[in-house]
Amino acid sequence: MKRFFLITGPMGVGKTIVGKRLCNILGRSAFIDGDWCLDIHPFVGNKETKNMAIDSIIYLVRNYLKCSECDSIVLSWVMSDNSIRRIMDEISGCNIKAYSITLICNENALRERWNNDVIAEWRNEEELHNSILSLNDYEHRQDTFMIDTSNMSIESVVKQIIEIGN
């Protein structure tokens, strides 16, 4: 049975690096970065474009499920509870074991990661402030495996996700 790891959390927590590293360790896996599905210039993050991105993600996941070369699919993206439910509902009829994983960290760890991350035009003080404000929302999510990555290495986080998937 194929596995689907849906990794979410606030901007800057480390979803992308963890997702890519997880794929490398799992092998025979596909990585989907939700940002790819909403890469509009200039950026517009409204209801229409977010729904389009979710539709694209669902399409990609379903295609990777059909691919004999993929045993696991890893998706990382900042997602609302509704987006997660929609994706999980859409793939629920597929022959797949799905895991919703939320990465969180404390404010100091988020600031450090933010400042050490690759330079991107949207990595500014306003977005950092918004990401810090969102930490509390993520900490109270239901129906997800919660991993506090504040004092963890990337390898430790990946190891914990692999244990969840076994």
Interatomic CA distance for residues 133 and 72, integer angstroms: 32
CATH code assigned at 130:
3.40.50.300
User: Residue 3: beta bridge partners?
Assistant: 72, 97
User: What is the per-residue pLDDT across 69-122, written as a single tens digit (0 to 9) for each?
Assistant: 999 999 999 988 889 999 999 988 888 999 999 999 999 999 998 888 766 666
- Averaged over 54-83, what is the pLDDT? 94
The mean pLDDT value of the chain amounts to: 92
Query: Residues 31, 33, 39, CA angle at the centre, nearest 5°?
Result: 140
- The angle, 0 to 180 degrees and rounded to 10, between the axes of the packed helices 81-91 and 47-66 is 30
Interatomic CA distance for residues 29 and 22, integer angstroms: 9
pTM of the model: 0.93
What pLDDT shows up at residue 115?
83
Q: Domain range for residue 118? A: 2-165
C-alpha gyration radius of the chain: 15
Based on the structure, what is the number of domains in the chain? 1
What pLDDT shows up at residue 122?
66
User: What is the per-residue pLDDT across 128-154, written as a single tens digit (0 to 9) for each?
Assistant: 899 999 998 888 888 899 999 999 999
DSSP letter (8 states) at residue 52: H
Interatomic CA distance for residues 127 and 101, integer angstroms: 22
What pLDDT shows up at residue 19?
97
